[in-house]
Structure 1
Amino acid sequence: MIKLQGAFTAMVTPMKGDGSVDYDGFRQLIDFQIEQGIDGLVPLGTTGENPTLDEDEEEKLIKIAVEEVKGRVPVIIGTGSNDTRHMVAYTKRAKDLGADAALVVTPYYNKPNDSGLAAHFEAAAAVGIPVVVYNIASRTGRNIPASLMERIAKIPGIAGVKESSGDLGQIGDIINSIAVPRRNTANPFTVFSGDDAMALPLMALGGDGVISVVSNLVPAKVKALCRACLAGDYEEGRKLHFELLAFVKAAFIETNPAPIKLALTWAGLPGGPTRLPLGPISGASEEALKTAMHGLGIKTV
């Protein structure tokens, strides 16, 4: 089983003014991430606007990611769907195109029961690529409690979880009951924070890192925070946490990824507009975002 740890970026999908995908910009963002020392990349997740990408766009983005990374860091491709058949097809595509792992979100809208949810992730793992479960009830309407995660984690091929429940009690139970017993084995279970603001407390509980939105723009700082926490240097970790906190709040002032894409554009990196139904953020939100960026010493155009 692949060992996943540290700062991973939930990558945006940069777009041109006409709303088409900026593939050259995507390559540029990958190179920026690698140069800044990021530990891994996660294209085609929520931050990548995967619900509004067509299959040709997705396939081209996966190919570019794998080709551009050249095995230097793990590439985890978002392959989720609320239709298990589609999810399996997307996961197979990611495997065939050379991804290192798949990120599979809890099926949304359907609100599956426990048996259906376990079978969904079993179908994902059967494809033969490591699978990271994505638990985010705020978007899917269905939480995966620790007791059910224990059941899912026993499925061969389930490599970890991106935890966005916001529940530290639940996260602690998952780390203690699943990740800790499998640590230093051939079958580790990674626990990532799916929320930038929760990265420090999750790692203090023994978690492995973060799949970050703000690292689209400040990968080196997020990497430094993870490195400090994983080394047990929580004084440095807290310092970096509070340095980043205003920007983290601003990046989620409206629905992700609209703020972070605008921040990238202002910083001179490929970002561009979001696709409908996500629209531009308000003027007040723009001001808060600029203020937070300036607080990190980032110039805006």
Structure 2
Amino acid sequence: MLKLEGIIPPIPTPFNVDGSFNEELFKDLIKWYLSVGVKGIAICGSTGEGYALLPDEYSRICGVTVKAVGGKVLVVAGVIVNSLNQALTYGKLAKDSGVDVLMITPPHYIFTPSEEGLYKYFKTIAEVLNIPITIYNVIPQTPVPLNVIIRLVNDVKLLVGIKQSRGDISGLADIIRAVGDKISIMSAIDDLLYPSFMLGARGAIAAICTVAPELCVELYELVKEGKYVEALKIHNKLLPIWRVVGQYDMPARVKTALELRGIPAGYPRIPLLPVSNDVRGEIKEVLRSVGLLS
């Protein structure tokens, strides 16, 4: 069975100023992430503005990624939609493109499904599409409760992971304790990756890994090796980065941070806008303070 582990950055989708997809920048981004030792590439997630992609764009991005990665690491495709039919449509596009795993949020519109509804949502997607899935537990008004996760782990053999993005470290600990020996629990609690790894998270699919992938890879390896003092030093470098990047317009800030590092990542897609000069200056100063800018 496929195994999620290590650092898997949820990479940005570079757009041109007119909102069109910039394929060449995207392929350059993938090449850079592969060069720093990541164990997978996650596309079309929150950082990748996957919620803003039309089906043909989504399919194209999946195909470009699979070809660019060339089997070196896993390709994880986000499915951020509001209905089962949409999830099946986008999921089939991803599967047909050759991605390895789907990373699926619960529906996130104003109405909240019941626990039974959430259970059937994820179970149906896995069974109909016959592809490994990861639950992307991020939606504030539609959290996937632990008892539903346990049921799904027991009943859905294609459930290979949980991406836990809700900021409560105790919730992550509960999930690891309950099912961490059966599937991969991946942290997306960006400012708490160090304690996440200490608790037993098998890796991270987190936006901070997109801005500073080499630091996140180093942090993960240091914890695995039991070098906790050195790991804490890396953690303390990541914290200020997340404080300045992890805001309401996070995808735009991620792209700015990468550009400042000399890695062009394109424009965000409206309604997100490029950051102000003041925010750009704040990001630049933080990156310089932690040694990511000369």
Same fold (TM over 0.5): yes
Aligned position for 2:261: 267
Counterpart CA distance in 2 for 1:170 and 1:297 is 33
Change (3 A) 1:236 1:93: same
The DSSP-based 3-state class of the residue aligned with 1:15 is coil
Aligned position for 1:130: 132
Counterpart CA distance in 1 for 2:209 and 2:20 is 23
Aligned position for 1:185: none
The DSSP-based 3-state class of the residue aligned with 1:291 is helix
Change (3 A) 1:167 1:214: closer
1:263 partner amino acid: A
Question: Is the contact made by 2:55 and 2:90 (CA closer than 8 Å) also made in structure 1?
Answer: no
2:260 partner amino acid: W
- Which of 244, 253, 267 is matched with 1:250 structurally? 244
Aligned position for 2:165: 164
Counterpart CA distance in 1 for 2:92 and 2:250 is 27
Counterpart CA distance in 2 for 1:36 and 1:287 is 26
Counterpart CA distance in 1 for 2:186 and 2:279 is 28
Question: Is the contact made by 1:15 and 1:270 (CA closer than 8 Å) also made in structure 2?
Answer: no
1:259 partner amino acid: R
Aligned position for 1:210: 204
Deviating more after overlay: 68-77 vs 16-25? 16-25
Counterpart CA distance in 2 for 1:158 and 1:231 is 28
* Per-residue Cα deviation, 1:20-67 (whole angstroms, up to 9, x for no partner): 111000000000011111111100011111122222211111111000
- Which of 234, 237, 241 is matched with 2:231 structurally? 237
* Per-residue Cα deviation, 1:256-293 (whole angstroms, up to 9, x for no partner): 21101111222222212211111233443222211111
Show structure 2 runs of 5+ residues with no match.
Answer: none
Deviating more after overlay: 263-272 vs 279-288? 279-288
Counterpart CA distance in 2 for 1:283 and 1:174 is 41
Counterpart CA distance in 1 for 2:28 and 2:74 is 17
Question: Is the contact made by 1:84 and 1:120 (CA closer than 8 Å) also made in structure 2?
Answer: yes
Residue 279 of structure 2 is aligned to residue 289 of structure 1: no
TM-score by length of 1: 0.92
TM-score by length of 2: 0.94
Cα RMSD (Å) = 1.5
**Pairwise CA distance, 1:225:** 0.8
Note the 1:3-152 alignment, pairs <5 A: 3-109=3-109, 110-126=111-127, 127-138=129-140, 141-152=141-152
**Pairwise CA distance, 1:253:** 3.4
Aligned position for 1:174: 175
Show structure 1 runs of 5+ residues with no match.
Answer: 183-188
* Percentage of identical aligned residues: 30
Counterpart CA distance in 2 for 1:94 and 1:273 is 24
Counterpart CA distance in 1 for 2:167 and 2:292 is 29
Counterpart CA distance in 2 for 1:266 and 1:18 is 21
1:27 partner amino acid: K
Deviating more after overlay: 213-222 vs 201-210? 213-222
**Pairwise CA distance, 1:255:** 2.2
**Pairwise CA distance, 1:254:** 3.7
The DSSP-based 3-state class of the residue aligned with 1:75 is strand
Runs of 4+ aligned residues of structure 1 deviating over 4 Å after TM superposition are: none
Aligned position for 1:220: 214
Deviating more after overlay: 227-236 vs 127-136? 227-236
The DSSP-based 3-state class of the residue aligned with 1:9 is coil
Question: Is the contact made by 2:51 and 2:80 (CA closer than 8 Å) also made in structure 1?
Answer: no
Residue 293 of structure 2 is aligned to residue 280 of structure 1: no
Counterpart CA distance in 1 for 2:189 and 2:100 is 22
**Pairwise CA distance, 1:77:** 0.5
The DSSP-based 3-state class of the residue aligned with 2:98 is coil
Aligned length: 291
Counterpart CA distance in 2 for 1:277 and 1:195 is 25
**Pairwise CA distance, 1:226:** 1.1
Counterpart CA distance in 2 for 1:17 and 1:39 is 31
